[in-house]
Chain A
Amino acid sequence: MQKVSIEINGKKVSREIEDRTLLSTLLRDILSLTGTHIGCDTSQCGACVVHVDGKSVKSCTLFAADIHGSKVTTIEGLARNGKMHPMQEAFKKLHGLQCGFCTPGMVMSAVDLLKNKKNPSEQEIRDWLEGNICRCTGYQNIVAAVKEAASKM
Chain B
Amino acid sequence: MASSLIGSRVERKEDKKFLTGKGRYTADINLANQTYAYFVRSPHARATISKVDISKASNAPGVVKILTGDDLAKDKIGGLIAGWKIVSQDGTDMKCPPHPPLANNTVNFVGDHVAIVIAETLDQAKDAAEKVRVDYKVLKAVVNTGDAMNSKPIHDGIDKNLCYDFLLGDKGKTDEAFSNADKVVKLDLVNNRLIPNAMEPRAAIGDYNPSSEELTLYTASQNPHLSRLILSAFNAVHPEHKFRVVAPDVGGGFGSKINAYAEDVVVAWASKKIERPVKWVAERTESFLSDNHGRDHLTHVELALKNDGKITGIKVETIANLGAYALVFATVTPTYLYAPLLIGPYDIPAACCNVKTVYTNTAPTDAYRGAGRPEATYVVERIVTEAAKEIGMDQAEFRKKNFINKFPHQQCLVHNIDSGDYNAHLDKALELSDYKNFENRRSQSSAKGKLRGIGFSTYLEACGIAPSAVVMSIGAGVGLWESAEIRFNATGNVSVFTGAHSHGQSHDTTFAQIVGEKLGVPIENIDIIHGDTDKGPFGMGTYGSRSLAVGGTAIVKACDKIIEKGRKVAAKMLEAKPEEVEFKDGEFIVKNSNKKKTIGEIAFACYLPGTYGDIKSPLPEGVEPGLVETSFFDPSNFSFPSGTHICEVEVDQDTGETKVVKYTVVDDFGTIINPLVVEGQVHGGVAQGIGQALYENAHYDESGQLITASYMDYTMPRADNFPEFKLGFTSTPATSNPLGAKGCGEAGTIAAPPAVMNAVIDAIGEDISMPATSEKVCNALQKNKKNKEAA
Q: Is A17 an interface residue (CB 8 A)?
A: no
Given known contacts A45-B199, A99-B503, A138 and B725 CB-to-CB distance under 8 angstroms: yes
Binds B, one of A51-59, A62-70, A125-133: A125-133
At the interface, yes or no: A97 with Cβ under 8 Å from chain B? yes
Docked-complex contact B251 and A44, CB < 8 angstroms: no
Contacting pair B677 A95 (CB below 8 A): yes
Partner pick for B199 among A34, A101, A129, CB 8 A cutoff = A101
B200 within 8 A of A: yes
State which of B145-153, B301-309, B650-658, B684-692 sits at the interface with chain A: B684-692
Q: Is the CB of A33 within 8 A of B719?
A: no
Contacts of B679 in A (CB 8 A): 95, 141
Contact B724 A130 (CB under 8 A): no
Give the nearest-CB partner of B249 in chain A.
Answer: A100
Chain B stretch 285-326: residues in CB contact (< 8 A) with chain A: 285
B482 smallest CB distance to A (angstroms): 21
Does the CB pair B21–A40 fall under 8 Å?
Answer: no
Inter-chain contact A140/B724, CB cutoff 8 Å: yes
Residue in B19, B21, B23 whose CB lies within 8 Å of A33: B21
> Is A107 an interface position by the 8 A CB rule?
yes
Give B191-225 interface residues, CB cut-off 8 Å to A: 197-201
Chain B neighbourhood of A93, CB < 8 A: 11
Q: Report yes or no: B719 in contact with A99, Cβ–Cβ below 8 A.
A: no
With contacts A38-B27, A130-B718 taken as known, whether A99 is within 8 angstroms of B200 at the C-beta atoms is yes
| Total interface residues in chain A, CB < 8 Å | 54
Q: Mark B498-519, 1 if CB is under 8 A from A, else 0.
A: 0000011110000000000000
Provide the main secondary structure of the chain A interface.
loop
Are the C-beta atoms of A99 and B199 separated by less than 8 Å? yes
Nearest B residue to A93, CB-CB: B11
**Residues of B with C-beta under 8 A to A133:** 199, 711, 716, 718
* A35 and B197 alpha carbons, distance in the complex (Å): 20
The answer to whether B20 touches A140, judged by C-beta atoms less than 8 angstroms apart, is: no
Q: Is B254 an interface residue (CB 8 A)?
A: yes
Q: How far is the CB of B61 from the nearest CB of chain A, in Å? A: 14
Q: Which of A44, A75, A141 sits near B683, CB closer than 8 Å?
A: A141
B403 is an interface residue with CB less than 8 A from chain A: no
Q: Among A79, A100, A126, A135, point to the contact of B23 (Cβ < 8 A).
A: A100
Residues of A near B722 (CB, < 8 A) are: 126, 138-140
Interface residues of A in 39-98 (CB under 8 A from B): 39-42, 44-45, 47, 74-76, 78-79, 84, 88, 91-93, 95, 97-98
Contacts of B12 in A (CB 8 A): 92, 95
Nearest CB in chain A: distance from B557 CB, A: 27
Decide: A100 and B710 in contact? CB cutoff 8 A: no
Q: Is residue B18 within 8 Å, beta carbon to beta carbon, of the partner chain?
A: yes
Contact of B19 among A39, A97, A130 (CB under 8 A): A97
User: What is the CA–CA distance of A85 and B503 in the complex, to the nearest angstrom?
Assistant: 24
Contacts known (A42-B712, A95-B677, A135-B688); A107 close to B683, Cβ less than 8 A: no
Shortest distance in angstroms between A36's beta carbon and chain B's nearest beta carbon?
Answer: 7
Contact with A along B1-30 (1 / 0, CB 8 A): 000000000011011111111111101101
Is the CB of A137 closer than 8 A to any CB of chain B?
Answer: yes
Question: What residue in chain B is nearest A137 (Cβ atoms)?
Answer: B684
User: Is there a chain A Cβ closer than 8 Å to B283's Cβ?
Assistant: yes
Q: Which of B249, B504, B720, B724 contacts A136 (CB 8 A)?
A: B504
Expressed in whole angstroms, the Cα–Cα distance for A129 and B19 within the complex equals: 17
User: Which residue of the partner chain B has the closest CB to A123?
Assistant: B720
Picked from B19, B30, B680, the residue with its CB within 8 Å of the CB of A137 is: B680
Q: Is the CB of B198 within 8 A of A135?
A: yes
Closest residue on chain B to residue A82 by CB atoms: B20
Whether B684 lies near A35 (C-beta < 8 A) is no
Majority SS of interface residues in chain B?
loop
Taking a contact as CB atoms under 8 Å apart, the answer to whether B19 and A99 are in contact is no
- Which A residues are in CB contact (< 8 Å) with B686? 138
How far is it, in angstroms, between the C-alpha of A82 and the C-alpha of B198 when the chains are bound? Answer: 30
Contact: A35 with B22, CB < 8 Å? yes
* Known interface pairs A79-B20, A133-B711; A100-B677 also in contact (CB < 8 Å): no
- B284 within 8 A of partner (CB): yes
Contacting B719 at CB < 8 Å: which of A34, A39, A79, A130? A130
Expressed in whole angstroms, the minimum distance between the Cβ of B528 and any Cβ of chain A is: 15
Q: Bound complex: CA of A44 vs CA of B28, how far in Å? A: 21
Classify chain B's interface size: 35 or more
Given A133-B716, A136-B504: A103 in contact with B252 (beta carbons within 8 A):
no
Residues of A108-153 whose CB lies within 8 A of B: 122-123, 125-127, 129-130, 132-143
In the bound complex, how far is the Cα of B20 from the Cα of A74, in angstroms? 9
Quick check: is B676 within 8 A (CB to CB) of the other chain?
yes
> Which residue of the partner chain B has the closest CB to A141?
B680
Is B250 among interface residues, defined by CB-CB distance under 8 A? yes
Contacts A34-B21, A34-B28, A39-B201; A98 near B504 (Cβ below 8 A) = yes
Min CB gap B730→A, angstroms: 21
Inter-chain CA distance A137–B719, complex, in Å, is: 10
Residue from B28, B250, B683, B724 whose CB has the most chain A CB atoms within 10 Å: B683
Complex Cα distance A127/B722, Å? Answer: 11
Residues of B within 8 A of A79 (CB): 20
Which B residues touch A75, using CB under 8 A? Answer: 19-21
Nearest B-chain residue to A94, judged by Cβ = B676
Least Cβ–Cβ distance between A64 and chain B, in angstroms: 15
User: B20 and A92: CB pair below 8 A?
Assistant: no
Q: Which residues of A contact B199 (CB under 8 A)?
A: 37, 39, 45, 47, 99, 101-102, 133-136
The distance in angstroms between the C-alpha atoms of A3 and B503, with both chains bound, is 39
| A139 with B503, Cβ < 8 A, contacts A37-B200, A76-B21 known | no
Chain A residues with CB under 8 Å of B18's CB are 97, 100, 103-104
* A37 to B201 CA separation, bound complex (whole angstroms): 10
| Interface contact B676-A74, CB-CB below 8 Å | no
Q: Is the CB of A92 within 8 A of B711?
A: no
Residues of chain B within 8 A (CB-CB) of A78 are: 20
User: Min CB distance, A91 to chain B, in Å?
Assistant: 6
Residues of A within 8 A of B503 (CB): 99
CA distance A45 to B712 in the complex (A): 10
Give the shortest distance, in Å, between A99 (CB) and chain B (any CB). Answer: 3
Q: What B residues does A143 contact at CB under 8 A?
A: 719, 724
List of B residues within 8 angstroms of A140 by Cβ? 683, 722, 724-725
Q: A95 to B676, Cβ gap below 8 A?
A: yes
- The distance in angstroms between the C-alpha atoms of A36 and B28, with both chains bound, is 10
Of A34, A95, A97, A142, most buried by chain B (CB within 10 Å of CB) is A95
In the bound complex, do residue A40 and residue B683 qualify as a contact, i.e. CB atoms below 8 Å apart?
Answer: no
Q: How far is the CA of A78 from the CA of B19 in the complex (A)?
A: 9
- Assess whether B285 is in contact with A41, with CB atoms less than 8 Å apart: yes
A120 to B20, CA, bound (A): 24
With both beta carbons as reference points, the residue of chain B lying nearest to A40 in the complex is identified as B284
Q: Interface centre among B28, B199, B677, B680, by most A CB within 10 Å?
A: B199
Nearest chain A CB to B198 CB, angstrom units = 6
B669-684 vs A, CB cutoff 8 Å, 1 = contact: the mask equals: 0000000110111011
Contact A99–B20 (Cβ < 8 Å): no
What is the CA–CA distance of A140 and B504 in the complex, to the nearest angstrom?
16
CB-nearest residue of chain B to A35: B21
Answer whether A44 and B712 are a contact pair too, CB < 8 Å, given A34-B21, A97-B19.
Answer: yes
How far does the alpha carbon of A28 sit from the alpha carbon of B281 in the complex, in Å? 13
10 extra interface residue pairs, beta carbon distance < 8 Å, beyond A32-B30, A100-B251: A45-B711, A74-B21, A76-B22, A88-B20, A92-B19, A98-B504, A98-B505, A98-B684, A101-B198, A138-B684
Residues of B at under 8 Å CB distance from A?
11-12, 14-25, 27-28, 30, 197-201, 249-252, 254, 283-285, 503-506, 676-677, 679-681, 683-688, 710-712, 716, 718-720, 722, 724-725, 748
